[in-house]
Amino acid sequence: MDMPVSFEIRPLSPAGGAEIIGLDLSQTLPQQTIEELRRAWNDHIVLVWRDQEFTEEEQLAFAGRFGKLGQRKVPPEELKERSDGVLQNNPNVMLVTNIMKDGKPAGSFGDGEMWLHIDSGYAEIPYSYTFLYGVKLPSWGGNTRFANTYKAYDALPQEMKDKLAGKKALHIHEYERRARVDISNKDISQSPHWFHPVCITHPESGRKALFVDRLMTRRIEGVPYDESEEILDFLYDHIEQEEFVFEHEWKLGDVVAWDNRCSTHGRTYFPENEERLLRRCTIDGSKLYENA
Ligand SMILES: [Fe+2]
């Protein structure tokens, strides 16, 4: 178990993503390998393994080497039906799927396109990493697109960096896939939400990243509403430019795991009449600050 294991890192795009070749994730890997993977994450943001075969238990065991496993968030009662899946029995696991079981959703968030987002960005302590395992896939579509928000931050005009310095933004979750929550006349106290710095310093790499996403970030604090809308629209389009995006096309047995603090991710359309199932688990993060 403690013998070194060698593996190859093959970068997949200038925006990020790297395939890790030569590891069987169902095995207990040496601690040194785990540390090497953590370093690879800092460089590539999204890691991809092909042809893996592992059970839910093995997936959790592998992910758990990187920190404390995250719990699936429980939505407020009135939003429950948008997220509750009847086959989601393990609190550490989310089934991202459109599969139905006895007329009810088996999992969560499974249908069609999903706008780019940060997993649990609406929570005080967002997840640090997310792991997805490809269990069932449609014949086409349903790719996962990742935007590198380090690169997006670095490429901002200095004037915009200055404007965003010290600002926080509201992240709010209403379990939508591709719609903005209208907060103009809304009591948000019943919806999960949190204010995070617009620009964070990543707690491990020390680099600055943009921390806003098209799906759930709705308001920059302390800026007039119209100006806030204008800035956020600019940032979403800026972040999602092709030069910052890596797109993963799924194959059965893929494991894709990413750093959730320096990327946003979303899903492309796939046919509604085809089934897709990804098994997700996460790692708890830490509170995020603009300056380390
Ligand atoms: Fe997600």
Using CA atoms of 59, 113, 208, 165 in order, give the dihedral in degrees to the nearest 10. Answer: -140
1 pLDDT exceeds 70? no
Q: Judge contact between 262 and 173, C-beta under 8 A.
A: no
How much is the pLDDT for 2?
66
User: At residue 201, what is the residue type?
Assistant: T
Q: State in Å: Cα 73 to ligand 1 middle.
A: 12
Q: Judge contact between 287 and 125, C-beta under 8 A.
A: yes
pTM for the structure as a whole: 0.95
How much is the pLDDT for 5?
87
Q: State in Å: Cα 267 to ligand 1 middle.
A: 8
Q: Tell me the pLDDT of the chain averaged across its residues.
A: 94
What is the Cα–Cα distance from 3 to 116, expressed in whole angstroms? 40
What is the Cα–Cα distance from 252 to 275, expressed in whole angstroms? 13
Give the H or E element holding residue 226. Answer: helix 225-239
Q: State in Å: Cα 119 to ligand 1 middle.
A: 5
Q: State in Å: Cα 137 to ligand 1 middle.
A: 17
Q: State in Å: Cα 131 to ligand 1 middle.
A: 10
Structure tokens at 273: 């009449």
Question: For 111-147, what is each residue's pLDDT tens digit?
Answer: 889 999 999 999 999 999 999 999 999 999 999 999 9
Q: State in Å: Cα 266 to ligand 1 middle.
A: 6
Q: State in Å: Cα 126 to ligand 1 middle.
A: 12
Question: For 67-103, what is each residue's pLDDT tens digit?
Answer: 999 999 877 777 777 667 888 889 999 999 999 998 8
| CA angle 104–70–141, rounded 5-degree value | 50
Q: Which domains are assigned to the chain? A: 8-111+126-147+245-284 (3.60.130.10), 149-239 (no CATH)
Q: State in Å: Cα 7 to ligand 1 middle.
A: 27
Q: State in Å: Cα 254 to ligand 1 middle.
A: 16
What is the Cα–Cα distance from 229 to 218, expressed in whole angstroms? 8
Q: Is the dihedral of CA 42, 58, 249, 123 positive or negative?
A: negative
pLDDT band at 47 (very low <50, low <70, confident <90, very high): very high
